[in-house]
Amino acid sequence: MEIKKVGVVGCGLMGGGITEVCARAGYDVVTLEVKQEFLDKGIGSIRTSLERGVKKGRLTEQEQDAIAARIKGTLNMEDFRDRDIVIEAAIENMAEKKKIFANLDQICPPNTILATNTSCLSILDMAIVTKRPAQVMGLHFFSPVAVMQLVEIVRTLVTSNEVVKAGEAFCKSLGKQPVHCKDTPGFLANRLGMAYLVYVFRCYEQGLATREDIDKAMRLGFNHPMGPLELADFIGLDTIYYIMVSMYDELNDPLFAPPVILKKMVTAGQLGRKTGKGFYDYK
């Protein structure tokens, strides 16, 4: 099961990052958006990233041009008709994802692998709306995609071994380090990471220490490159809140119940770096 042509649904932060790393690795990539303005913004971000690579001496201008030439933006899902794999990186909404997978199943050739970049939703629920559930898997990249090496390869109860092997080879061809995990809420990294963050939030909420000292303790005491509250601001507090809610709903485990402070910050629009304010002020 050889992969040469890649499709990506979504050209936002994650979809754009996946598109870029695939094109850098030599793949022909078609990236889809729902509106021209979203597509222009996504392609523009990729171009900016490539230009930054040239300025830093990591890419030549010829390499930049070759990578850009391997990327095609589209508003029409019909352009996925010749893809070997399509990776969905749309909004974290199950109804929308099911709709996307049902449409991809109708459009893509029978041998096409369908993958999702979801961070916590059930992949089997997406797979069963298709006529090819054995060819549906999770490929969960981490942000920023160009920098983070980890990709979670998530298999459902019905994903074939051949598809898993193809997914692993594909991830390695991108220079990524894959880990294998089951289709359970939060998969592996978020199951571990959210348990860590939820307790950090509770400690901060209870006034155990200042935000600066909490972050310093984990950076210097456990050699973490970034403190947990800094990390939360980087990820986005709304994203973390959504993941925690989804995991709590699925597992019914109080461990993942979002702390009150997190809910209030999200309600106030204090989402971290992307809004200029979270646990820290970035304005």
Q: Taking residues 207-221, what's their average pLDDT?
A: 97
Q: Which of 182, 199, 218 is the last residue in one of the domains?
A: 182
At 69-108, the pLDDT tens digits run 999 999 999 999 999 999 999 998 999 999 999 999 999 9
| Whether pLDDT at 1 is above 80 | no
Burial class (CB in 10 A: 0-12, 13-18, 19+), 60: exposed
Q: Taking residues 161-181, what's their average pLDDT?
A: 97
What CATH number does the domain containing 155 carry? 3.40.50.720
For the chain, the average pLDDT equals 96
Give the total number of structural domains in the chain. Answer: 2
Q: Looking at the structure, do residues 114 and 235 belong to the same domain, yes or no?
A: no
Q: Looking at the structure, do residues 173 and 117 belong to the same domain, yes or no?
A: yes
Burial class (CB in 10 A: 0-12, 13-18, 19+), 101: buried
| Whether pLDDT at 155 is above 90 | yes
| Whether pLDDT at 215 is above 90 | yes
| Whether pLDDT at 113 is above 80 | yes
- Are residues 171 and 154 in contact, defined by beta-carbon separation less than 8 angstroms? no
31: containing domain: 5-182
Distance CA 217, CA 78 (A): 51
**Of the residues 20, 33, 88, 152, which is catalytic?**
152
| Whether pLDDT at 143 is above 90 | no
CA end-to-end span of the chain, whole Å? 49
Q: Taking residues 131-156, what's their average pLDDT?
A: 96
Q: Taking residues 262-271, what's their average pLDDT?
A: 97
Q: Taking residues 43-57, what's their average pLDDT?
A: 94
Q: Please report the pLDDT score of residue 110 as a whole number.
A: 95
In this prediction, residue 114 has a pLDDT band, given cuts at 50, 70 and 90, of very high
Please say if 119 is a catalytic residue.
Answer: yes
- In sequence order, what are the beta bridge partners of 86? 7, 114
**Of the residues 117, 122, 140, 230, which is catalytic?**
140
Distance CA 86, CA 69 (A): 19
**Of the residues 49, 117, 122, 190, which is catalytic?**
190
DSSP per-residue string spanning 53-70: HHHTTSS-HHHHHHHHHT
Q: Please report the pLDDT score of residue 266 as a whole number.
A: 97
| Whether pLDDT at 236 is above 80 | yes
Please say if 140 is a catalytic residue.
Answer: yes
DSSP per-residue string spanning 208-236: SS-HHHHHHHHHHHS--SS-HHHHHHHH-
Please say if 117 is a catalytic residue.
Answer: no
Q: Which uninterrupted H or E stretch holds 154?
A: strand 150-155
Q: Please report the pLDDT score of residue 283 as a whole number.
A: 84
At 115-133, the pLDDT tens digits run 999 998 999 999 999 999 9
Q: Which of 164, 182, 200 is the last residue in one of the domains?
A: 182
Portion of the chain with pLDDT greater than 90, in percent: 95
Record the pTM.
0.91
- For residue 7, the SS3 value is strand
Q: Looking at the structure, do residues 52 and 175 belong to the same domain, yes or no?
A: yes
**Of the residues 20, 49, 88, 119, which is catalytic?**
119
What CATH number does the domain containing 232 carry? 1.10.1040.10
Q: 140 is written with which tokens?
A: 């969960």
- Are residues 178 and 137 in contact, defined by beta-carbon separation less than 8 angstroms? no
- Are residues 71 and 42 in contact, defined by beta-carbon separation less than 8 angstroms? no
Residue 24 DSSP label: H
Residue 277 DSSP label: B
Burial class (CB in 10 A: 0-12, 13-18, 19+), 211: middle
